[in-house]
Amino acid sequence: MRVLVIGSGAREHALVLALRRDPAVSALYAAPGNAGIAQHARIRPVDPSSGEAVVALATDLAADLVVIGPEVPLVLGVADAVRAAGIACFGPSADAARIEGSKAFAKDVMSAAGVRTAHSEIVDNPADLDAALDRFGPTWVVKDDGLAAGKGVVVTADRSAARDHGAELLENGHPVLLESFLDGPEVSLFCLVDGETVVPLLPAQDHKRVGDGDTGPNTGGMGAYTPLPWLPEETATAIVEDVVKPVAAELVRRGSPFSGLLYAGLAIGSAGPAVVEFNCRFGDPETQAVLALLESPLGELLNATATGTLAKVDAPRWHDGAAVAVVVAAENYPDRPRIGDVITGAGDGATDESAAVLHAGTAQREDGALVSAGGRVLSVVGVGADLAEARVHAYDRVAAIKLPGSHYRTDIGLAAVENRI
């Protein structure tokens, strides 16, 4: 099987590494890739948001399967173009990808499916913002209704901060979604979905805020860990049965069947699980941790999903132990990051059994130096017999990496290790 992975982040690096372990994958390409992915797959240039360009590349490479990593190409319909060309594609149609592309659409689907989520209200007129804010609080959740890479959300007890964020979104032409605040720890559950067939992967927890102790602004994600020792197995089962399956069935009922990875982000509060958001693709950085523990051939799972045969494939098998992903971010991230700084100590990545360095925002200069090229620069993944050991391996590896001005959280998974969650 010849596989083409679309994307250029650490999520795609993790997908490439897992696909390399599948003996059925005979050729592996990535486009546009990055400096780290280039060590494990053949890199090709492409505009990932252009269906025409992706189809042309996949055809030229005689790809049997195209795996689309980022959300933007999916929302723009690149998967539709690939399938229309007769090539199997892992990733939902543009119609189904609205589950992430429009929070209002997602709320409507959840309401029809009877899925518990936060009360919400859309504001598209600045004149209505103050009155709408008065109907929420004392903790305000203010979101960009469209795609925002995890950074369009403000959760705050400061009404003026909530108002400023909402006003800025509206000024930029973006509708605002106000939500009631959901209490409890968050869970990310990835599910392979083929119509109404739902196959869950390991639950994980992302750390969205930039600073230790969940302080500072939201980011695209500063780290993640799996499995979750504090999450009862019956709760994970209930999420699949009461949340993901009803949403998948509702999308089928609407004539927009989902094919790909459906990501449910939930808060596990005193009243039970409630959906914070749905995404239409593998999450970043949870993917880096989850796939580090996958024993089953990933290519087989993704191809079965793409070809409508997921129900015929054995359930995923997992290695024992735990995995922790720690993001090394550039100076000033999540604001405008500084780029072009030389990175040392990253090695060639993914060669150590206990820790791997996955590239996200990296590039290679003409002189061969590895430099930063984005906000989240690297994801360091540690694995171990348990969460505590995985953390040690991850942070030992992080300590060897030098990038001027970089920063990372030191507490990924720590609350779970210390039984504070």
From the candidate CATH numbers 3.40.50.2300, 3.30.470.20, 3.30.1490.20, 3.40.50.2000, the one assigned to the domain spanning 120-179: 3.30.1490.20
Higher pLDDT, 371 or 180: 371
Per-residue pLDDT band for 104 (boundaries 50, 70, 90) equals confident
Mean pLDDT score across all residues of the chain: 95
Query: What is the helix (H) or strand (E) element at residue 280, kind and residue range?
Result: none
CA distance readout (Å), 120 to 179, 201, 410: 4, 29, 34
Q: Which residues touch 75 (CB under 8 Å, ≥6 apart)?
A: 94, 97, 98, 100, 101, 147, 280
Rounded (10°) CA dihedral 36, 39, 45, 49: -50
Burial 230-264 (b: 16+ CB within 10 A, else e): ebeeebbeebbebbbbbbbbbbeeeebbbbbbbbb
Residue 234 has pLDDT above 80, yes or no: yes
Q: Mind listing the pLDDT tens digit for each residue in 195-230?
A: 999 999 999 999 999 999 999 998 999 999 999 999
Q: Mind listing the pLDDT tens digit for each residue in 45-95?
A: 999 999 999 999 999 999 999 999 999 999 999 999 999 999 999 999 999
Per-residue pLDDT band for 151 (boundaries 50, 70, 90) equals low
Domain boundaries, the chain: 2-90, 120-179, 183-312, 322-417
Q: Residues 356-375: what's their mean pLDDT?
A: 96
**pLDDT at res. 110:** 96
Query: For the domain bounded by 183-312, which CATH number is listed?
Result: 3.30.470.20
Q: Residues 14-39: what's their mean pLDDT?
A: 97
Q: How far apart are CA 215 and CA 152, in angstroms?
A: 16
Residue 351 has pLDDT above 60, yes or no: no
Q: Mind listing the pLDDT tens digit for each residue in 171-201?
A: 999 999 898 888 899 999 999 999 999 999 9
**pLDDT at res. 149:** 55
Same fold, 183-312 and 322-417: no
CA distance readout (Å), 198 to 127, 179, 270, 307, 346: 43, 28, 26, 14, 37
From the candidate CATH numbers 3.40.50.720, 3.40.50.20, 3.40.50.10210, 3.40.50.360, the one assigned to the domain spanning 2-90: 3.40.50.20
* Residue 89 contacts residue 83 (beta carbons within 8 Å): yes
Per-residue pLDDT band for 412 (boundaries 50, 70, 90) equals very high
Q: How far apart are CA 167 and CA 310, in angstroms?
A: 45
Residue 143 has pLDDT above 90, yes or no: no
Q: Mind listing the pLDDT tens digit for each residue in 260-306?
A: 999 999 999 888 899 999 999 999 999 999 999 999 999 999 999 99
**pLDDT at res. 247:** 98
Residue 349 has pLDDT above 60, yes or no: no
Question: What proportion of the chain, given as a percentage, has pLDDT over 70?
Answer: 98
Per-residue pLDDT band for 118 (boundaries 50, 70, 90) equals confident
pTM: 0.91
- Is the domain spanning 322-417 CATH 3.30.365.10? The answer is no
Residue 348 has pLDDT above 90, yes or no: no
Q: Residues 119-138: what's their mean pLDDT?
A: 92
Rounded (10°) CA dihedral 177, 182, 186, 191: -60
**pLDDT at res. 103:** 84
